[in-house]
Amino acid sequence: MNLEEGVRLARYTTLGTGGPAAAFARPETVDELRELLAYARARELPVAVVGLGSNLLVSDDGFDGLVLKLAGVLAHAEARGELLVAGGGAPNAVALHRARAAGLGGFEFACAIPGTAGGGVWMNAGAYGGDWASVLDRALVVDAEDARWRSRDELGLRYRSSGLLPGEVVAQVEFRLAPRSPDDIKALIAELQARRKAAQPTNKRTYGSVFKNPEHDLTAGRMLEACGLRGFRIGGAVISPRHANFIENAGEARSEDAIALMAEARRRAWEQYGVELEHEVVFLGDLELPAVPR
């Protein structure tokens, strides 16, 4: 069991902020993963998995627990018949490439999600009308005691969330896809990527969508745009001038800057629309949004 101490997490997040992890490891097999989870449980250490570092905001003070980055077979992807089998740490781009090469369609929407197969299960990731729940067959979930396959229903997938609990890690995912021409898959991916590039700050350091879309006529981005927040800056972080539901690292940003922007966005959305926005980004460490002033 190879553990590192004091690994700065900013280098593992897409926003580029965050302090050190008390412990850091790169398990390559299910057995190694279970051993590390048992180690953490015995020492009452919280556990977090960092995939590609998107959808993650880490405290500037770091995380007093064990951070895992899945590697080896846990980050491998391959097609088996009409199944796309991906390790929890497999990048979506790699998994999608394997699906296209095998002529399997239905996973094209994942080209707009810069994360991993396992991270997608945790939040039921989705884009452009598709989500994990629509294609996932089952997932291998590991904790300190065992590893068990769970069906889509057992995972409790719902809008941008799941029923997974702290200390549980998705080690492998099976997606059930359908035969499709690789050329058709390639064309759809190109179309979706062009739409994403036109609407989102894909060339900036962000952690992805900040807030979940509320039950309202307006999306979170449209709502925050109407609140005049495009380009609003605090410290080294700025609400994207291109899409108001993204926060960019404009240079030397800190996580506390992002939290301050999120707090201001929630305040304005509440005052103007009576909507209390719920954050989609996952907090790691001692981070908390202040209550919306009422």
Cite the active site residues: 160, 209, 280
- CA distances 208 to 16, 164, 169, 242, Å, are 12, 21, 21, 13
Q: Say how far apart CA 34 and CA 91 lie, in whole Å.
A: 21
**Partner residues linked to 191 by β-bridges:** none
- CA distances 122 to 125, 130, 146, 166, Å, are 8, 15, 18, 10
E strands, 7-96, are 7-8, 20-25, 47-49, 56-58, 63-68, 77-80, 83-87
CA dihedral (260, 24, 40, 51) positive or negative = positive
Residue where the block lists tokens 């999120």: 262
DSSP state letters, 175-225:
EE-EE--HHHHHHHHHHHHHHHHHHS-TTS---S--BPPPSSSS-HHHHHH
CA nearest neighbour of 193 among 143, 127, 291? 127
